[in-house]
Amino acid sequence: MKNTVNKNNGEGWVYSKIVKDHFFHPRNFLVKDAKPGKFDAEGQVGSPQCGDVMKMWIKVDAKTNKIKKLKWQTFGCASAIAATSMFSVIVTEKGGMTVDQALKVKPQDIMARLGGLPARKVRCSVLCDKAFRQAANNYFRSTGQHQKIIVEGSKVIDKRLNITDKDIEEAVLEGARNLIDVQKKLKVGVGDPQAIPEIEQLIKFYLEKYYG
């Protein structure tokens, strides 16, 4: 394994052989956009302006609800490419997972199969998770399974600064590990002390969700 150094701050991280293999030889990667009607649903998250964008297509067996094919495209770093490649393998191997089972695959499951990712790169494994959730929601809509649609909204935690739970989630994904770290990034709770217990609960929740 070889250290990769961030030119902006001099910090280094190590990629496993598995990560490198999936980066240089991505599985289920789609070079061109899928032709209309070839897949049952697609999802897209991010934007080119922000540097990361992910598109994902799924083909589902109508009788078993199992994912027969999952194809993807992404504009992102090595970690994002490797994580999405591995996710596509996890949900389609051994006859494929059902859509419901695939929705339960966590970022740490992907990282475990990759042999780990640097802590600052965990957010890259979340990109494919969000793209798949959107594709799954679109599949549920098209097949009339409206009760299964996952609704992801934002809740305002600090009303004075209008900071939401999603802002705190992003802070954790960017490296915040405790209340002090989050407050350095967001100033959340500084002028609204009553919000601090909920902020700490959210930090704990997102740390467990993304880092185990």
User: What is the Cα Rg of the chain in Å?
Assistant: 18
Please, are residues 60 and 2 in contact by the beta-carbon 8 Å criterion? Answer: no
User: Looking at 58, 86, 124, 168, which residue is catalytic?
Assistant: 124
77 catalytic per annotation? no
User: Looking at 31, 50, 151, 180, which residue is catalytic?
Assistant: 50
> How many angstroms separate the CA atoms of 140 and 145, rounded?
5
Coil, helix or strand at residue 125: helix
124 catalytic per annotation? yes
> How many angstroms separate the CA atoms of 79 and 84, rounded?
8
Strands (E), 33-180: 41-47, 52-60, 67-75, 156-158, 163-164
Tell me which H or E stretch contains 134: helix 122-142
Active site residues: 50, 124
